[in-house]
Amino acid sequence: MIKYFTRLLIAVLVIAALVPAVFAQSENPLAGTYWQLDSADSSAPVTLGFESEETVAGSGGCNSYSGSYTVEGDSISFNNVVSTLMLCVDTGDQETEFFNALQTATRYELADDQLTLWYADDQQLTFVPDPAGGLVGTQWQLASTADDVPVIADSFLTLEFRADNQVVGAGGCNDFGGSYQIEGEGQIAFTDIISTLMACVNEELNVQEQEYLSALQAATGFTLADDQLTIDYGEGQRLTFVLTKTDVLAATQWQLASFGSADTETSTAPDSLVTIEFVDSSQVSGSGGCNTYSGTYQVNGEMMTFNPLISTRMACTDEAITAQESTFFQALESASRYEVTDEQLLIWYGSDQQYLTFVPLAETA
């Protein structure tokens, strides 16, 4: 009996010793790493970010994209890669080749701060660490300014990093846009910041906005950690941002019933199902009637905006549904505000006189 328990104890100790090794081998070394294509034009960087154990996102040089991936040993495959549909003038060929390479990737290698992907007929893509560290595609709300002074109550100052080094945001009164450049690890510069010229009724908001835009143009560095972004400027001053989140619409599903203005309201095409699902506090997805789409959204009070949406690229056989889908996607990307009740969701877009009318999906499914 003693020998039996001795052997059992030895077996348990051996298994316990092996467990850490098994788990170590199963860890995904790519998760949480961000890369930039080494051969890409630096003015339009091609990026590859492994945001989690399963999801990937980045920029093709013009369009943003996202998808999923799996790794097993040194084997890798990318799935469900969808992108925005902006017209790319100077990066079109490079971007198309990059997306095709991801779809046919077979294996990878990590060595000496370099990622190599093999694809198609044993061709290679070589990546170096991305100095932007995953900024592309993120949206932020300013929490405090220099000396950790909180922003004025009920003011909404934002910053959104888009593909192709473009940045947009709200200054609390005016919207603005411009360019940003990562000049080395942890270094950033904003240029060509242009804003609308509406007068802020509240003088304090006006001063805060001017200080915010001036701070961005004087930015020197940034730190990205968890759900917080810090931008350094001036002499030891900093802007502190938090990720834009809301729970107002989270976990709700809707079906489009009509669109247009009060005078030109148009019902959806027969046999078409156009949907929108607010997956959580920032993610949105659905169907345009032919193609599926996904992206992010943010709200502040009754204000609502969507990031450029990414969608599949299937051809719709019905011309009416094709036209309707195009109108739907354009409407979401120009959305300005919303109103929601238990029975209906309205999203205003364009000139703010047009709106999308949704009803709960459960009632019509």
Mind listing the pLDDT tens digit for each residue in 246-286? 456 777 899 999 999 888 899 999 889 999 998 877 788 99
> 281-298 in b/e burial notation, b at 16+ Cβ within 10 A?
bbebbbbbbbbebbbbbb
Phi/psi of residue 16, each to 5°? -60, -35
Q: In the chain, pLDDT over 70 holds for what percent of residues?
A: 84
pLDDT category, 153, cuts 50, 70, 90? confident
Tokens 């001053």 correspond to: 237
- Higher-pLDDT residue of 51 and 89 is 51
- Tell me the whole-structure pTM to 2 decimals: 0.52
Other C-beta atoms closer than 10 Å to the C-beta of 215 total 20
The domain locations on the chain are 34-129, 139-243, 252-364
Identify whether the C-beta of residue 39 lies closer than 8 Å to the C-beta of residue 123: no
Q: Considering Cα of 50, then 51, then 55, then 60, what sign does the dihedral take?
A: negative
Identify whether the C-beta of residue 307 lies closer than 8 Å to the C-beta of residue 285: no
In CATH, the number for domain 139-243 is 2.40.128.270
Q: Which of 142, 196, 135 is nearest to 167 (CA)?
A: 135
Does residue 78 surpass a pLDDT of 90? yes
The per-residue pLDDT for range 175-199, each reduced to its tens digit, is: 899 999 887 778 999 999 999 888 7
What average pLDDT does the segment 23-34 reach? 72
Mean pLDDT rounded to a whole number for the chain: 83
Matching CATH number, 34-129, of 2.60.40.1180, 2.40.128.270, 3.40.50.2000, 3.30.470.20? 2.40.128.270
- Higher-pLDDT residue of 190 and 95 is 190
Identify whether the C-beta of residue 63 lies closer than 8 Å to the C-beta of residue 88: yes
Identify whether the C-beta of residue 180 lies closer than 8 Å to the C-beta of residue 231: no
Residue 206 vs residues 199, 302, 336: alpha-carbon distances, Å:
8, 21, 21
Residue 28 vs residues 23, 32, 104: alpha-carbon distances, Å:
10, 9, 20
Does residue 54 surpass a pLDDT of 90? no
Q: Structure tokens of 196?
A: 């609308």
- pLDDT score recorded for residue 85: 62
What average pLDDT does the segment 201-227 reach? 91
- pLDDT score recorded for residue 324: 96
Identify whether the C-beta of residue 289 lies closer than 8 Å to the C-beta of residue 325: yes
- pLDDT score recorded for residue 40: 56
Which range has the top average pLDDT, 85-89, 95-99, 224-228?
Answer: 95-99
Which distant-in-sequence residues (6+ apart) come within 8 Å of 350 by Cβ?
Answer: 331, 334
- pLDDT score recorded for residue 166: 82
- pLDDT score recorded for residue 16: 45
Does residue 6 surpass a pLDDT of 80? no
Other C-beta atoms closer than 10 Å to the C-beta of 197 total 6
Q: Can you tell me whether residue 103 is helix, strand or coil?
A: helix
What average pLDDT does the segment 132-157 reach? 84
Identify whether the C-beta of residue 308 lies closer than 8 Å to the C-beta of residue 344: no
The per-residue pLDDT for range 232-243, each reduced to its tens digit, is: 999 999 999 987
The per-residue pLDDT for range 298-329, each reduced to its tens digit, is: 776 677 888 778 899 888 889 999 999 999 99
- pLDDT score recorded for residue 351: 74
pLDDT category, 42, cuts 50, 70, 90? low
What single DSSP character describes residue 312? -
Matching CATH number, 252-364, of 3.30.2090.10, 3.50.50.60, 3.40.50.300, 2.40.128.270? 2.40.128.270
pLDDT category, 24, cuts 50, 70, 90? very low
- pLDDT score recorded for residue 248: 61
Q: Which of 241, 30, 33, 35 is nearest to 138 (CA)?
A: 241
pLDDT category, 173, cuts 50, 70, 90? confident
What single DSSP character describes residue 121? T
Does residue 1 surpass a pLDDT of 70? no
Q: Structure tokens of 62?
A: 């013009």
pLDDT category, 364, cuts 50, 70, 90? very low
